[in-house]
Amino acid sequence: MINGHDVGRMPFRTYVIDKAAMIRNIIEDAINGGAKVRFGVTAIKCAVKGDGYECLVHDRDGGEYVINARALIGADAYPSIVDLSLGVTKGFKAEDLIIATSARARGGSTWMMRR
Ligand SMILES: Cc1cc2nc3c(=O)[nH]c(=O)nc-3n(C[C@H](O)[C@H](O)[C@H](O)COP(=O)(O)OP(=O)(O)OC[C@H]3O[C@@H](n4cnc5c(N)ncnc54)[C@H](O)[C@@H]3O)c2cc1C
C-alpha cells in the first residue's frame, strides 16, 4: 500500500528484513569467529597464493596494500573482482544478464505482510 492505494499483491508469503541489522550480525559473528574486519577497503586484484589467497586492496585514504587470507569469499557483486581475478565463472554471456531499473516515489507508505 502506498498513500492508501493498493499498488500490487504477491501470490506468495513475503518477509521484510532489516538488512543493516542482518549485515551487522554477520560481521559480529565473523569477528567472534576470529576474522579481522576492515571497512572502506576495495579489492583491486586477487590471486591464489600458496594454500590461500592474496588481494591487492586500496583503502579510503588512498593507501594500497596486500591482504593475505586463508579463505576468500567473492561477495563483491557484479562485476566481481574476485570472480574476474580468479576466473570463477569465466564471465557472463549476454543471455545471462537482465536489465533492471528501480524508482523511488515520494509519500507515506505502509508495509503489508500477508500470511
Ligand atoms: C534499489 C534496490 C532495491 C532492492 N530491493 C530488494 C528487496 O526489496 N528485496 C530483496 O530481496 N532484494 C532487493 N534488492 C536486491 C538486493 O539488494 C541484492 O540482491 C543483494 O543486495 C545482493 O547482495 P550481495 O551481497 O550479493 O551484493 P551487494 O549487496 O551489492 O554487496 C556487495 C558489496 O561488495 C562491495 N564491493 C563491490 N566491489 C568491491 C571490491 N572490489 N572490493 C571490496 N568490496 C566491494 C560493495 O560496496 C557492496 O557493499 C534490491 C536492490 C536494489 C538496487
Which residues lie with the beta carbon below 6 Å from any ligand 1 atom? 42-43, 75-77, 81, 102
**pLDDT per residue over 2-52, tens digit each?**
778 888 888 899 888 999 999 999 999 999 999 999 999 999 999 999 999
- Atom 13 (ligand 1): residue with closest C-alpha? 19
pLDDT for residue 108? 65
Prediction pTM value: 0.78
CA–centroid distance, residue 77 to ligand 1 (Å): 6
Q: Between residues 107 and 20, which one has the greater pLDDT?
A: 20
Q: Which triple of cell numbers denotes residue 9?
A: 499483491
Q: pLDDT > 70: what percent of the chain?
A: 92
Burial class (CB in 10 A: 0-12, 13-18, 19+), 43: middle
